[in-house]
Structure 1
């Protein structure tokens, strides 16, 4: 109902645009992926061959645009546990079969202001706190109103109010893995371009107002600052860097009382087609009780702390991730427009009690040919004192119109 009201309000204001020419643009996005997972402690392996199709239409007229996009995902091979169906004797592959509305939004955009209302993707900065979870078939969207303002030079203000997070679990989501989690969420960022990079502050008020979603224990308020920038060091040599700090505490109906800190320091050196990356990320712990460590339930978690997905929920004692990576890319390589290879190694430790969690090696090869992107990915988590040894392998093809 809130989505309908917000969209109707913007439509009412759009009257003058109706006289202008309307441009129509189809939206088509297709994916096929094979995922294999082998996890110690489980008697069976997981094999999943999934297909995902999104289709819709965007209509634009002057500063106004509206789009509707549907989504469907099915499993051609379903020898896996999808979190809702299948045997939990197999590793989790979080791609349940589903069909439904992915996006339905109205947008007003000028040079200084963009207003978006309805079901939409929201991906802020590197998606560490709020993201679209693009790797999973069903993705994550929000029923929200968002305002982005750039009315002053070098300054950007971005504020969203979301009353529902539409999860990756699809139409059959239930229990702790619901189709949608309601609540009064506020995401606010401000950034100013300085000579050393974009310096900004942020506030994320996450309201998981569903008892089934961890008993309200994922509701939190997070305030912090972030600096991101890059500098040329020589011809074909560039240094990029990100520094971030945040403080999180309980909010709204959260039954726990806690405070936890977040730190990130990341540096990437590009030398022609080579890339070297070094970073350290800390999600702090409070007093060692479950869900009193720094949590990011609305993040694109797959992008962080290894692809084996061992730390999507931060352990009670927190997690520290020391990582190093390298990569190389080739343009116009044979029939391909782009080929790249990447490798990363992670060392995971607890934030308190000095526990060695484990190590992970991640490998990725991607190739782009026209509108098609091909990828082969591998993750190998070696447990020390957290979780169990896990190996995952993916083959994927994406096509976008």
Structure 2
């Protein structure tokens, strides 16, 4: 691990020296001033994130309890060149190293005797793109991060040590101060799994991500989106999704509303139609923020449910990750209804949050279970971010009782 860190630091220092050093051998006739400015404006970043994740799960049908202990370190080197005639290059390389590896990351080297923690070891190119950027238009080609709205449909799964990024082409266009358009054609999603994982580490196909935003005024925004997904191999995930998201601020009351419809597409062997909706309302009472909501991933008579294969799923339906998929093969084709309430506050600089989830099926009136999630976050002199998270899922008619604890330290240079 130390060898890797030293290598990254050496590379970063060398790159920074190359970028910032004066070009003694060159004069103004050999280097265009714009090129020199682009080099001078280039940036190198290094970040580290160490995280302990402990898991304790009750056995199912008389089986023994299973546990996991994972201490992993993500090291990231980022290079972003300055603009040359609006063109720039971005490169990002990640390494994940396990200091304690008593966990199942779904690679073929694990037999499943430990609980699952999807933080596989390895080094990979997280981003590598060419970008053209003006005040109104941004074009990006290559491997890149794509995040839409609240990441319920298109996200980066940034919580996991190995991030999800996309290979493709993206155009973002600011029509005016109020209207923005965003379209991506993606042919491959680089997922959080390792190459030799029991699950595919990527998903290929023809994927169209479209989002249009309208800023009504400072207090109200509206987005419309369309996601047309045709998978090369995972045909049961192929779908067409169309919907809208509204976010409004009515003084002390904040409202978030979202609705979408989904149907089968491509070579999906199932024929189905399902709906999604989410309604949230929040308010502030002094130093306390209250938020309540209902999110529904609907089902088509139990044969298939609304799915979001490219979402940052850890953000939704509980941190214990019991509801990562609602497809016909996951056992949750009856859909999910999540009724939740969140309480937030800050005490002596520590951000605190607690959320309670009541989870049930959309079809068949099945009580899945309940979950409590707790968060404490603190920034130390803006150099280090400290985080403690806890999730406790109490199973009723789905899965098993599960408790998870995370302790995380992150820093960047």
TM-score, scaled relative to structure 1? 0.88
SS of 1:139's partner is coil
After TM superposition, give the deviation of residue 182 of structure 1 in Å.
Answer: 0.9
Work out which of the residue numbers 243, 246, 249 in structure 2 matches 1:230: 249
> 2:130 aligned with 1:106, yes or no?
yes
Contact 1:281–1:320 (Cα < 8 Å) also in 2? yes
> 2:90 aligned with 1:76, yes or no?
no
* Aligned alpha-carbon RMSD (Å): 1.7
Rounded to whole Å, the distance in 1 between the matches of 2:287 and 2:258 is 27
Rounded to whole Å, the distance in 2 between the matches of 1:170 and 1:99 is 10
Where does 1:135-150 land on structure 2 (aligned, <5 Å)?
135-150=159-174
Rounded to whole Å, the distance in 2 between the matches of 1:187 and 1:18 is 34
After TM superposition, give the deviation of residue 93 of structure 1 in Å.
Answer: 0.5
> 2:67 aligned with 1:50, yes or no?
no
Report the counterpart of residue 191 of structure 1 in structure 2.
213
Rounded to whole Å, the distance in 1 between the matches of 2:377 and 2:148 is 24
Where does 1:14-163 land on structure 2 (aligned, <5 Å)?
18=35, 20-22=37-39, 23-41=41-59, 42-62=64-84, 63-84=86-107, 85-163=109-187
Report the counterpart of residue 284 of structure 1 in structure 2.
298
After TM superposition, give the deviation of residue 18 of structure 1 in Å.
Answer: 4.2
**Unmatched segments (≥5 aa) in structure 1:** 1-14, 234-238
Where does 1:351-366 land on structure 2 (aligned, <5 Å)?
351-366=362-377
Rounded to whole Å, the distance in 1 between the matches of 2:112 and 2:53 is 16
Rounded to whole Å, the distance in 2 between the matches of 1:64 and 1:207 is 31
Contact 1:377–1:394 (Cα < 8 Å) also in 2? yes
After TM superposition, give the deviation of residue 20 of structure 1 in Å.
Answer: 5.0
After TM superposition, give the deviation of residue 305 of structure 1 in Å.
Answer: 0.2
Residues 383 and 164 of structure 1: is their aligned pair in 2 closer, same or farther, counting only changes over 3 Å? same
After TM superposition, give the deviation of residue 70 of structure 1 in Å.
Answer: 0.8
After TM superposition, give the deviation of residue 287 of structure 1 in Å.
Answer: 2.3
After TM superposition, give the deviation of residue 65 of structure 1 in Å.
Answer: 2.1
Contact 2:37–2:82 (Cα < 8 Å) also in 1? no
After TM superposition, give the deviation of residue 119 of structure 1 in Å.
Answer: 0.4
Contact 2:203–2:231 (Cα < 8 Å) also in 1? yes
Work out which of the residue numbers 324, 341, 348 in structure 2 matches 1:312: 324
After TM superposition, give the deviation of residue 17 of structure 1 in Å.
Answer: 6.1
Report the counterpart of residue 17 of structure 2 in structure 1.
none
Bigger Rg, which one: 2
Rounded to whole Å, the distance in 1 between the matches of 2:201 and 2:149 is 25
Report the counterpart of residue 21 of structure 2 in structure 1.
none
CA offsets per residue over residues 60-100 of structure 1, 9 Å max, x none? 12533211111111111111111114231221111111211
Rounded to whole Å, the distance in 1 between the matches of 2:83 and 2:214 is 31
> 2:237 aligned with 1:218, yes or no?
yes
After TM superposition, give the deviation of residue 194 of structure 1 in Å.
Answer: 1.6
Rounded to whole Å, the distance in 1 between the matches of 2:129 and 2:56 is 40
After TM superposition, give the deviation of residue 19 of structure 1 in Å.
Answer: 7.0
SS of 1:45's partner is strand
Contact 2:58–2:66 (Cα < 8 Å) also in 1? no
Residues 52 and 21 of structure 1: is their aligned pair in 2 closer, same or farther, counting only changes over 3 Å? closer
Residues 68 and 345 of structure 1: is their aligned pair in 2 closer, same or farther, counting only changes over 3 Å? same
Rounded to whole Å, the distance in 1 between the matches of 2:320 and 2:67 is 14
Report the counterpart of residue 341 of structure 1 in structure 2.
352
TM-score, scaled relative to structure 2? 0.86
Contact 1:372–1:398 (Cα < 8 Å) also in 2? yes
SS of 1:60's partner is coil
Work out which of the residue numbers 214, 239, 260 in structure 1 matches 2:274: 260
CA offsets per residue over residues 312-368 of structure 1, 9 Å max, x none? 0121100100000101124xx4xxxx4201000000011011111100000010101
